[in-house]
Structure 1
Amino acid sequence: MAPNLRDLLHRPLLSRSSPLSPGNAASRISAYVYGNVLILVALIPMTSPADHTFQGVAIVLGTALSTFVAHAFAEGVGETVRTGAKLSRVARIEQLRDSVPVLSAAVLPAGLLAIGWAGLLDPGVGQIMAEVTVIARIASTNFVVGRLRGEKPTRGTFLGSIVLALVATAVVALKLLLTH
């Protein structure tokens, strides 16, 4: 029997067959937000043809990797302060896992920039598409938070997402206005 798509999309996220703890969920949404915002910030100043080469891809991937390491480190330090104990190896690995959304924020933008760099797509179009994908991820933050809480989307979730998308779009539009 095929799974019900509605149930599949609206169930709580699982980690090893059990729901995420509030701490893990908070760490993952924090990583999701940091990753998306910092990747958008890395994309915005790319205005010259030199940025539409390997350099642009490297900037996005470097931003993601450095943010991933910084986020995992900061979360580990915070957990040490919260618990008053040294983190175990398992806890450190868990911190790395909870920081993965930072890396996921860079996958599609870096891929689009690489396609432009390879000449399969106009590099400027690839960059705009990369920015649009990050804006869409930023807009989806309300849905991600709701899903981590096990809540079904509401009209407020949708409207909040539109506001987030408009703010992120305004940032990119301002960039285009000031730099092109």
Structure 2
Amino acid sequence: MDGSRDALLHGPLFSRRNPLDRSNAASRISAYVYGNILILAALIPVTTTEEHVGILVVVGTALSTFVAHAFAEGVGQAVRENRALTPRQRWEELRDSVPILSSAVLPSIILACAAVDWLEPRTAQIAAEVAMLVRIGGIVFVIERLKGARPGRSTIFTALLLTAVATTVVVVKVVLTH
């Protein structure tokens, strides 16, 4: 990776020819998985009323998970290398944790639509949960992309299976709590 600020912030994430090295890919997919699962978990118990649409719960979950993940990954790397991290390595840990923050964007926008009365709170809640289910199913495609591989039939089947499992969790939540 070159020393430019763009490369430091983005690495080869947007390059179709240069997949991430295994370590960076593992860090980013770990952050992506954490973010999606924890945002869905944060959405599930949120009650939908006119006054409470869960935006702060989603944003708070994303921010706290981002900080915790970056810190934990940094500590783990320092232990593996048996030395303190350089400032560049700290930035790289933050960069690799950004997928956690991206997990909160779409559900927050959907919930904000309820806050400004564009959607009913319950509709927004369900739409935000569905968005997270799609992202969770999409984890399989993200993994393939980070490996530099093209998705195939097994990728699609695995994505559908993963989405079905996550959907079951949400359906159980809706049945038991609504």
- Report the TM-score when normalising by structure 1: 0.88
Residue 40 (structure 1) aligned with residue 35 (structure 2): no
The corresponding residue for 1:179 is: 177
Alpha-carbon distance, 1:78 to partner? 0.7
Structure 1 unaligned regions, length at least 5: 1-11
Q: Name the amino acid aligned to 2:112.
A: A
1:73-105 CA distances to partner (integer Å, 9 max, x unpaired)? 010011111111110000000000000000000
Q: Name the amino acid aligned to 1:162.
A: L
User: In 2, Cα distance between the equivalents of 1:146 and 1:18?
Assistant: 13
Q: Name the amino acid aligned to 1:167.
A: V
The size of the alignment, in residue pairs, is 166
Check the 8 A contact 1:52/1:113 in 2, yes or no. Answer: no
Paired residues for 1:73-88 under 5 Å: 73-88=71-86
Provide closer, same or farther for how the CA distance between residues 100 and 124 of structure 1 changes in structure 2, counting only shifts above 3 A. same
Q: Name the amino acid aligned to 1:136.
A: V
Q: Name the amino acid aligned to 1:44.
A: I
Check the 8 A contact 1:80/1:86 in 2, yes or no. Answer: yes
The corresponding residue for 1:63 is: 61
The corresponding residue for 1:136 is: 134
The corresponding residue for 1:92 is: 90
- What is the Cα-based RMSD across aligned positions, in Å? 1.6
Check the 8 A contact 1:108/1:133 in 2, yes or no. Answer: yes
The corresponding residue for 2:25 is: 25
1:7-61 CA distances to partner (integer Å, 9 max, x unpaired)? xxxxx8347x9542211110000000000000000000012416734xx110000
The corresponding residue for 1:9 is: none
The corresponding residue for 1:148 is: 146
Q: Name the amino acid aligned to 2:116.
A: A
Provide closer, same or farther for how the CA distance between residues 51 and 165 of structure 1 changes in structure 2, counting only shifts above 3 A. farther
Paired residues for 1:155-166 under 5 Å: 155-166=153-164
Q: Name the amino acid aligned to 1:108.
A: L
Check the 8 A contact 2:18/2:148 in 1, yes or no. Answer: no
Check the 8 A contact 1:33/1:138 in 2, yes or no. Answer: yes
Provide closer, same or farther for how the CA distance between residues 48 and 14 of structure 1 changes in structure 2, counting only shifts above 3 A. closer
Q: Name the amino acid aligned to 2:77.
A: E
Alpha-carbon distance, 1:159 to partner? 0.4
User: In 1, Cα distance between the equivalents of 2:164 and 2:135?
Assistant: 12
State percent identity of aligned pairs. 55
Alpha-carbon distance, 1:141 to partner? 0.8
Check the 8 A contact 1:52/1:124 in 2, yes or no. Answer: no
Q: Name the amino acid aligned to 2:35.
A: G
Check the 8 A contact 2:55/2:112 in 1, yes or no. Answer: yes
Check the 8 A contact 1:39/1:63 in 2, yes or no. Answer: yes
